[in-house]
Structure 1
Amino acid sequence: MTTFTERPVADVDVANIARIYDYYLGGLYNFAIDREKADRIRTMLPGVDLLARANRDWLRRSVRFLLDQGVDQFVDLGSGLPTANNVHEVAHARNPLARVVYVDHEPSAVLHGEEILADEPLAAMIEADGRRPEQVWAHPRVRELIDLSRPVGILMGGLLVFVDDEDDPAAVVAAYRDACAPGSYLSISHLSDDLADAATRTQVARMTDAYRVGVGQELYVRDREVIASWFEGMELVEPGVTLMADWRPDPGSCVDAQTSSRVLGYGATARVV
């Protein structure tokens, strides 16, 4: 008698943070409950969708920079869904042999990600907690695709926003740094409001409350000084820790200086020495 293992199914009755992010990016892997919650959050922080897109644009530029440095393997931590022109698509456009592992702890995101990447032998989606490097490195697909004896690009596009001080985000960064070969790179972006006006800071606080109550996810807002301290022991790539929109913008790109969300996130990349 043949038995079949029942696969998990996505919960379409509860809003999901990865699918909300996908909705903000214009992706297709989201449901009515996600869109409803996302629209409600947008009333609290107008431009939150623009902030999400700025983060994704920063991520793409970071990947292209790392490719230019010869990096051909990437680990995207706290990735959410691998949609909307994500890391593997950017990497494979320049290097079809590049290897990419997406990491997320949320089963629904992993389920969708596995479906999206079903025909991508050099890209994988795994369920693991990005705050626990040992858990990531122990995963069979990571061992299969990523060679830690060679340079690797570690991408933390918003991961540390979900790491509280007790879990020590600086120690998380240091653990990934220490696991990587010299010539590797760590790219980090993070939510911040230290350059925002009072009204925008109030909106950010309302948004974080909405995520806590409506999605069950705590978001942490940190200033530039704290974020910069995480790169200790590495060589920061120019222009250092900047607003995401100012980190190596594409030639000819037009940044809307009037958008309040523009000042709500920093990004940086550093080289492991």
Structure 2
Amino acid sequence: MATLAWRRSVGLAFLAGALILFVPDQARAADVPVPPENLLSDRGRGDISDADRDFVIKVRLAGLWEIPAGEMAQDKSNSARIKKIGRSIADQHEELDLLTRNAAKKLDIALPNEPNKDQQGWLAEMEESQGPEFDDVYIDRLRAAHGKIFPAIATIRASTRNDTVRKLAQQANQFVMTHMTLLESSGIVDYAGLPTAPPPGAATAQAQARVVPAAEESSTSGTNVPLILAALGGGLAAGVVATRQLVGNRRSAYRSRRTRYYAD
């Protein structure tokens, strides 16, 4: 009996090992990398564009309304999950706001001290709601806002020339992805109500249009167009003449060979 029990234990252990090997998605989670911030410099070096300044201001504005919104969730929501989401997002925005103010000070960017008109309207909606109604407003407004700033952060992260803005964009990206995940964990996000992505063709055309240098655009515009058309016309005429000559020569050679053939 002991030998039989031992054999069964070994068999179960072997089966468990096989499952780990042949069902990796369930047994072993993939290691998702987190970008190391210590590899980025933060010395305020590099040109700052208007888009960079607008980005820093928008990150500040996000905290100015999402922090009080998270505070309201503690009083107006009846859901322990919504309260926890609101608490986490508010606390994390306080950390992100500190990073933003430090970056703005280094780059001499003036920051607002109150939410903009749209954000004040969203806070007013939350003030007027309670319970499940508050939950819907809170989740919908924050998820939509994070969805709008998410691609904007990616654009700045990929294009900025300034190292401080680059690092802030990377940090903000991590916060926004975390917040979107927290909001979606509520289970009440109205995905059908979110904006859809532009068609691939339209997005590609817009990207290609942005890549064309201004000098290249100017070289094919204005008074240069007639010169280009004239050159194309001249090339076409020369090609026609050359083709006719080639065809004529071939016909003459063919007739000569044919005459000699019949003469023989």
- Class of the TM-score when normalised by the shorter of the 2 chains: under 0.3
- In proportion to residue count, which structure has more strand? 1
- In proportion to residue count, which structure has more helix? 2
Instruction: Return the index of the structure with the highest Cα Rg.
Output: 2
